[in-house]
Amino acid sequence: MEPGPSISPSPWTRSQVYGVDFSGARDAGKRIWLARGVAEGDRLRIEWCRRGDCLPGSEKSRDKCLAALREFIAGETVAVFALDFPFGLPQALVTEDDWESFLLSFPARYLCPEAFRRLCREADGGHELKRVTDCRSQTPFSPYNLRLFRQTYFGLRNVLNPLVRDGRASVLPMQRALSDRAWLLEICPASTLKRECLYRPYKGKTDEHRTARASILERLEATGTLSIPDQAVQSTVLEDRHGDALDSVIAALAAFRALRAPAFPTVEDNDKYALEGYVYV
């Protein structure tokens, strides 16, 4: 495949990009993956890919790992972080007037993940509503779907809420992109793969799954926008049978491409994005 056309860099481009494949599981430290990329012209070079329990102060337990992730994000003041959990809920389920008020009231409104899912389903009549951005970017699930609700809950409560409350990160596009703190973007690896016509089963331990991971990685590198020169990093990504390491790389790439869009950080003209959140594909 020939490299794609060059994209003029946005004045908002930052050189350090982290992709985060998130988890709300009890042993989140073993399931969260981070990929660090460095922008080199039109290409993102992946420097490393590691599990969440490798962060300073982290452990495999959810509370320890998410606390370590928050501190890591807050400390990377000139970086961009792409995280794969919903940053908001459908407008019909939000009683606040703006996203920041919704986020800051989230822990008091929803005391545990099970209550979060139950109250959302009671409010929507059991239909599992999606956000406008979910429909347009073809994300697989509603934010409170059975397969996603814990990820949404702990992402909003344990990551975004403290960072926004303490002014330690800018969450886009709902907040201004301030120069003195990390920028956080919502992404969805499945949506990015669908956009590239690369969506196929790649999560699993069979030879076919590993071959699929290798094919996806090869084709993304062939576009000219991604590079993983270190063979040890490539091996780490390919040998993770859950596909989470690969997802973290895809997340970083999605954020890198978003940053280089001439209109960034502006998104499509839809008022609901400011309240519900926006998936950068």
Give 54-69 pLDDT, tens digit per residue: 999 999 999 999 999 9
Sign of the Cα torsion 81, 79, 36, 224 reads positive
Is pLDDT above 90 for 8? no
How buried is 64 (Cβ within 10 angstroms: 0-12 exposed, 13-18 middle, 19+ buried)? Answer: middle
- pLDDT at residue 227 is higher than 70: yes
DSSP letter, residue 54: G
pTM, whole model, 2 decimals? 0.94
Which pLDDT score is estimated for 90?
A: 97
Instruction: Provide the token pair at 204.
Output: 């699993």
Closest-CA residue to 191 (of 129, 254, 238): 254
pLDDT of residue 10: 61
Q: Are 32 and 23 in contact (CB under 8 A)?
A: yes
Amino acid at 20: V
**End-to-end C-alpha distance for the chain, whole angstroms:** 21
Longest dimension (CA), the chain: 52
Q: Is residue 46 scored above 70 in pLDDT?
A: yes
- Tens-digit pLDDT profile for residues 240-266: 999 999 999 999 999 999 999 888 878
Residue 16 reports pLDDT greater than 80: yes
What is d(CA 179, CA 281) in angstroms, rounded to the nearest whole number? 23
Over range 139-160, report the average pLDDT. Answer: 97
Per-residue pLDDT for 136 more than 50?
yes
Q: Is the peptide bond before 56 cis (omega within 30 degrees of 0)?
A: no
Residue 150's φ and ψ, nearest 5 degrees, are -70, -40
Which pLDDT belongs to residue 263? Answer: 83
For 155-169, write each residue's pLDDT tens digit: 999 999 999 999 999
Report the interhelical angle of 207-222 vs 231-239 (nearest 10°).
Answer: 130
Higher pLDDT, 40 or 10: 40
Closest CA to 133 of 179, 87, 82, 79: 87
Q: What is the pLDDT of residue 266?
A: 80
Q: pLDDT of 84-104, one tens digit each?
A: 999 999 999 999 999 999 999
For residue 11, the model assigns a pLDDT of: 56
What is the predicted pLDDT for the residue at 1?
34
